[in-house]
Structure formats: C-alpha cells, structure tokens
Amino acid sequence: MAHHKSTIKRIRQTAVRTERNRYYRTRIKNITKAVVVAAEANDKVAATEAFKVANKQIHKLVSKGFIKKTTAARKVSRLNKLVNKIAA
C-alpha cells in the first residue's frame, strides 16, 4: 500500500483513466462492428448511417487525445471502403 499522498492520488487517477480508456476502447469496437455487420448484411442505408456515427465518434476521440489522427483516418478509411463496396 502506498504511503505518500502523491502516490495515493496517482493510484486514484490511474483507476479513473483506466476505466475511461476501457469505455473508449469498447465504444470504438462496438461502433466499428455496427458498420461491419450492416455491410455484411448488404444493407446500404444502415451501413451508411452506422458509418456516419462511427466517423463522428472516432474523430471525437482524436480531439480527446485517445487515439492519434492517423489511426482514426485509417479506421475511417477502411470503414468507408467497406460501405462503398456494398451494391446499391
């Protein structure tokens, strides 16, 4: 167990950040999966709507500093490519 005040505070901060990061990681996976599932079902409308949500959320996480801009661009690009492959 930590004895210094600063160490106790750091443990608290780490716990909060870990929980927040877990939420963000799960969120990215879920919104990405929604696009993929809609694309696999050949549902252009649902895939497009899910992509819009994914694009907005992924870029929001960039502004929060959770993921890098290039990582977000790569993820969005791949999802967009997937949605565009669907025959309308």
CATH fold for domain 5-84: Methane Monooxygenase Hydroxylase; Chain G, domain 1 (1.20.58)
pTM of the prediction? 0.83
pLDDT given for residue 87 in this prediction: 74
From first to last of the 88 residues of the chain, give the pLDDT tens digit.
888 999 999 999 999 999 999 999 999 999 999 999 999 999 999 999 999 999 999 999 999 999 999 999 999 999 999 999 997 6
The domain segmentation of the chain, as residue ranges, is: 5-84
8 A C-beta contact, residue 75 and residue 51? no
Spatial neighbors of 19 by CB under 8 A, at least 6 apart, are none
pLDDT given for residue 60 in this prediction: 96
